[in-house]
Amino acid sequence: MNTANETKEMVRQKYAEIALQDKDTNASSCCGAGGCSTEVYNIMTDDYSELKGYNADADLGLGCGLPTQFAGIKPGDTVLDLGSGAGNDCFVARHEVGEDGRVIGVDFTPEMITKAKANAAKLGYQNVEFRQGDIEALPLTSNIVDVVVSNCVLNLVPDKRKALSEVLRVLKPGGHFSISDVVLRGELPAQLQHAAEMYAGCVSGALQESEYLGIIHDLGFEQVTVQKRKPIVLPDDILSNYMDAEQIAAYKASGTSIFSITAAASKPSTGGAADNAKAACCAPNAEGTEKVKVSTGETCGCGIDSTCC
């Protein structure tokens, strides 16, 4: 298997290509990543067109759910979209937060950021911004987001625990997320596990559902629920790119299942485990002018009232 950096570069290159191709090409493939099927036009994506705030130019057909539909976004909220692509979920979220709210999209691919900014400019939105960045090290300060959404993106990230820990960091105490992603029950055949197209297509990078939800619990999130579960069936004309007829039959008989799930959870409110951990990390220096790391005494580089530690 590739190293984490090699995987990230593969994903960046593939999604740069996707940013420049049309929606029909994306939607007829597996998350836009190739393996075009003549049997099923759209394998994963749910229909956004009935959601208020939807903009067709921003919909590249790359998702596997409708996280913004379940996210409980309120007027005035600050919303973060992980893997924001051309801005689809950001624009739906913007309708929910209204003029007084704020939406931030983060994407790893410069070409996607360029496309999203152009779409926002056409719509005249002043409270939607897009930042290039790595989901494993989000370009945001801590405790500033009310709601995090993401659509079929975390399975592309090599270190999913780190990515979810970043979600915990940037959420305000009591904030929550609604994230759609691909998960597994059973083991994928080796041919699919090692196929770059299946990784960029959101399948071979997927975790077991129990492991995925277990990470969310282990990090200290509360009220962990699955809001929606949808089976994903890879048609034979995709599978035949990687396996012969006998191997396909064995895979179908194995009981392995691929699902899109929309999972939700909340960060503990003030006084919870996450805030206690932060308090133990940083404390005022002797002069009371800034914060220092408790473990080393190093300056955190932020003011006494800041939460940047």
Smallest CA-to-CA distance from 90 within 45, 60, 55 is with 55
Do 293 and 203 lie in one domain? The reply is no
Model confidence at 38, pLDDT cuts 50, 70, 90, reads: very low
Mean pLDDT of 181-185: 89
Do 94 and 142 lie in one domain? The reply is yes
Q: What pLDDT is stored for residue 2 in this prediction?
A: 63
Residue 29 has pLDDT above 90, yes or no: no
Range of the domain at 291: 271-309
Do 35 and 115 lie in one domain? The reply is yes
Do 263 and 275 lie in one domain? The reply is no
Number of Cβ within 10 Å of residue 83's Cβ equals 26
Model confidence at 305, pLDDT cuts 50, 70, 90, reads: very low
Distance CA(53)–CA(59), nearest Å, equals: 12
Maximum mean pLDDT: which of 23-32, 47-56, 89-98, 283-292: 89-98
Do 222 and 292 lie in one domain? The reply is no
Instruction: Estimate to the nearest angstrom the gap between the alpha carbon of 238 and the chain centroid.
Output: 25
Mean pLDDT of 104-123: 93
Could you tell me the pTM of the whole model? 0.77
Q: What pLDDT is stored for residue 137 in this prediction?
A: 94
Query: Domain of 137: which CATH number?
Result: 3.40.50.150
Do 106 and 150 lie in one domain? The reply is yes
Q: What pLDDT is stored for residue 28 in this prediction?
A: 46
Mean pLDDT of 221-246: 88
Do 65 and 134 lie in one domain? The reply is yes
Residue 22 has pLDDT above 80, yes or no: no
Total of domains in the chain: 2
Do 142 and 161 lie in one domain? The reply is yes
Window from 79-93, 94-108, 286-300 with minimum mean pLDDT: 286-300
Distance CA(233)–CA(155), nearest Å, equals: 17
Do 242 and 283 lie in one domain? The reply is no
Average pLDDT over the chain reads: 80
Do 161 and 88 lie in one domain? The reply is yes
Window from 111-125, 212-226, 236-250 with minimum mean pLDDT: 236-250
Q: What pLDDT is stored for residue 223 in this prediction?
A: 94
**Greater confidence, 140 or 186?**
140
Residue type, position 273, single letter = A
Model confidence at 125, pLDDT cuts 50, 70, 90, reads: very high
Do 160 and 82 lie in one domain? The reply is yes
Smallest CA-to-CA distance from 56 within 100, 29, 26 is with 26
Distance CA(239)–CA(191), nearest Å, equals: 9
Residue 282 has pLDDT above 60, yes or no: no
Residue 75 has pLDDT above 70, yes or no: yes
Do 110 and 174 lie in one domain? The reply is yes
